[in-house]
Structure 1
Amino acid sequence: MKRPDMLYECLECGNQETVKSNDHKIDGRCCKVCGGHNMPKGYIGFDSAKNKGGD
């Protein structure tokens, strides 16, 4: 199963960035706008109801 992409948001300026699931640098990202710290906000393209039950 393909891993979903992640949405990151900057703690300082609120800028949001999409990170592809195959990107090797998932954690420790800096904001491209202000250089602040990005935190994961959620998954993109992931339907939890569809994947219920461990399929």
Structure 2
Amino acid sequence: MALAQHGADLALHGREIKDHETRLRVLENTPTVSPRTLWTVVASAAGLVLAAVPIIERILA
């Protein structure tokens, strides 16, 4: 009886590990934005805005 229960516990544990592996693969394959990329985009956008301000001021003046 105890041996059968232990076998069932091991089978359940094996299924849980496979489920975790599947979930980890999904998370790893999900595209994300790294902080370096985010700050590069923010700095580039700020630079473009600062460069465009004098041009816009001349057009509107």
Q: TM-score range by the shorter chain?
A: under 0.3
Larger Rg belongs to: 2
TM-score by length of 2: 0.24
**Which structure has greater helix proportion?**
2
Query: Using CA pairs below 8 Å that are at least 6 residues apart, which structure has the higher relative contact order?
Result: 1
